[in-house]
Structure 1
Amino acid sequence: MPTILVDDLRSFTDERAVLVARSGAEGVVLLDRHRGEHIDELWLDHDLGGTDTVWPVVALLERAAFDGEPFSIGTVVVHSANPPGVAALVQALGRWGYRARPAPGVPAVAYR
């Protein structure tokens, strides 16, 4: 039951066990690798450096739900510093039945 973090720069500050993807493409690969497993928490940053965003990950989640096989995720935590991006991610994921909540500026995830 992993926790997955998709963020280009930040990490958890409390040393929890976590699988990390630093780009949208890495996030897709990591989630695909854990398809069929329950993921306790999925932490998403909107902007992943340059023109990269977390939207490829969201597209994978949406497609799985559309196909009737959504990922089993306890909570999706959107911790981006991009308020419009946070709102869009939470809305998109909620529409497909994922429990998503905003958490911008949360101290659990920081630059290390």
Structure 2
Amino acid sequence: MDVADETVDTLLDEGTPPGDVLVVTTGEQHPWAQHELSFGEDAYWRQLADGEDVFCVHTTELARVGRRAVVVLAVNGGTDAQAAEALPAALAKADRSLIVCGDPQRLRDLL
């Protein structure tokens, strides 16, 4: 998760608008998503609709999300099958680029 967060920071520092970035997790929800969900589902999903900030979503909810210029996939858990399914699903949401963060050996094995 730390590498995914650093990647997002770099993207933003390089001028990528926050609303162009989607972070997808395969294991535990991103801490930002956990925090936002504590205010309720409506407020959380409203931020997605506003489209002005980086949005974090679990792969199981990816179907509810539209495309973004950049998708950062954090392979931070879940089964190998779930992680393998997340790769093409995240790619389908990326207009410009998909950045995958996780254990390199696990990612090689999944590919």
TM-score of the superposition, structure 2-length normalised?
A: 0.43
Q: In proportion to residue count, which structure has more helix?
A: 2
RCO greater where, 1 or 2, for CA within 8 Å and sep 6 or more?
2
The normalised TM-score by structure 1 is: 0.43
